[in-house]
Every structure is written in C-alpha cells, then in structure tokens.
Structure 1
Amino acid sequence: MLLKSSKINEFRLWGLLLTMGGMLIMIIGLAGVVFDWGAVGRIIAVIFLILGMISMLGSMAIYFWAGMMSTSAVALDCPECGKRTKMIGKTDRCMFCKTILTVDPSMAPAEAEISDEGNIRQPETGSATTAIDSSKN
C-alpha cells in the first residue's frame, strides 16, 4: 500500500517524471557543447535537446489530460480520513489515506455493513475498502 495512490496522483507522478527526465536529457546533451567536442558534440547536443523537448511535451500532454480528468472527477469525502478527495472510475484510492473507494455497492466486500448515511463500510479489523453510495448526489 506504500506505493499505491489515487489515479489522478499517478498521472501527475508520470508527468513529473517526464519533466525531470526531459530536463536531465537536455542537460546531458549540453555536455557536447560545454566540453567542446566539435561538430560531433553539436550533433549530440541537438539530438539530446530534441529528445528532451519531446519528453517535456509529453509531460505537458499528461498534465493537461490529468487536469481534464480532474475537472470531471467525482468529489467526495473519504469515510476513513474525512478529507475531500476526487475519484475517477468505479474504484479509486483516497488521495490522502490511500483507502480504496468505490461507488458500486456490488464491488464492496461481502462482510461490509451499510452505515446510516448510506455508505457501505467494512469493519475496522479488515482491509480498508469502502463503497460510496452515489445516488444521493
């Protein structure tokens, strides 16, 4: 569970990795010019700068895509930590406490119980899977 995150945060992570990777590729490419490797160094610099630029443009596309998905995501309060989180699809994780959330009661565990608010909630001793009743929204 340490490396699991919500879907929106996963997209943002990949965008950040592409940004950092693109900058690193561009910095490596500049070594051809900085260390004065002649014509070969300039060709290496151009190739690496183009690859870094492509990586940066890919990062921009991923950030744009994550932003568009974030605007249409279902915003709800996490039953475990009480913080406002966004959910994409039928199942997702809380952005803060990593609790598995779902809007489909059929995907909730069999031993889950329905609270007075209409949320399907698993007992505290089991895993933290929670189903949110979306018919109230």
Structure 2
Amino acid sequence: MFFRSSKINEFRLWGLLFTLAGMGLMILGTSGIVFWGQAGKIFAGIFMVIGMIAMLISVGVYFWAGMMSTSATMLTCPECSRQTKMLGKTDRCMYCKTILTLDPGQATQHPADTTQT
C-alpha cells in the first residue's frame, strides 16, 4: 500500500486526485483564452477534453471504490475497537492504521492456546 492507509481510502484518494487534476487542466486550458485570445481557443479545447477525461476517470474510480465498499468484510479493529472494512486477505484499519488479517497464516500474533491436555 502506497500511503499506508486502508485500501478503500486509497482508492478514494486516487479518485480525488483525478478530480483535482481534471479541474486544474480545465482551468489551465481556460487561461489560454485569456492570454492568447483567438489562438488560445484550440489550447483551451484540448485541455478541456483532457480535463473531462480525467474527471470521467475519477467518476469510475469512485464508483469502483463504492462497489468494493459494499462487498467488504466488516470487522472490529482490535486496537481502537471501531468497526472497519477490510478488502482482501490483509488491510489496514481505516482509523488507527493497524494491519488486519483474517488469514491465520499471515497473522503476527496468534491467540494463546487455551485447551489444556
């Protein structure tokens, strides 16, 4: 994971970055009209199209994150005792960033064996 946060939050972050990049490109393209007049219209058109594509990608990323969020496993974090969502075999808590897993083979601490022989 890139920023060491939960996978769902990372997908939402990428959606936000695409939204901001698309809006920035559209504003940059509009500035071409202000500075170059008639010749800037082509510049503005190109950057408007590229910005719109980035905005559509962000809509797709947000939709994908929402669909994954609906099928995510809900569990209670052992550190902060809040309910969090988990994707895949390992993920991080959305609140305290604790590494979580449901796979006993990947767990770092195993529960103590309480059976006595």
What's the TM-score, normalizing by structure 1?
A: 0.78
Q: How many residues align?
A: 112
1:27 is matched with which residue?
27
Matches within 5 A, 1:9-24: 9-24=9-24
How many Å apart are 1:115 and its aligned residue? 6.0
Q: Distance in 2 between matches of 1:113 and 1:107?
A: 10
Q: Which has the higher helix share?
A: 2
- C-alpha root-mean-square deviation of aligned residues, in Å? 1.6
Residues 104-126 of structure 1: per-residue CA shift (max 9 Å, x gap): 001112xx23169xxxxxxxxxx
Partner of 1:9, secondary structure, is helix
Q: Relative contact order, CA 8 A, sep 6+: which one is greater?
A: 2
Structure 2: runs of 5+ lacking an equivalent: none
Identical aligned residues as a percent: 64
Residues 33-64 of structure 1: per-residue CA shift (max 9 Å, x gap): 123x1332000000000000000000000000
Structure 1: runs of 5+ lacking an equivalent: 117-137
Q: Distance in 2 between matches of 1:115 and 1:77?
A: 19
> 4+ residue runs of structure 1 moved beyond 3 angstroms?
none
What's the TM-score, normalizing by structure 2?
A: 0.90
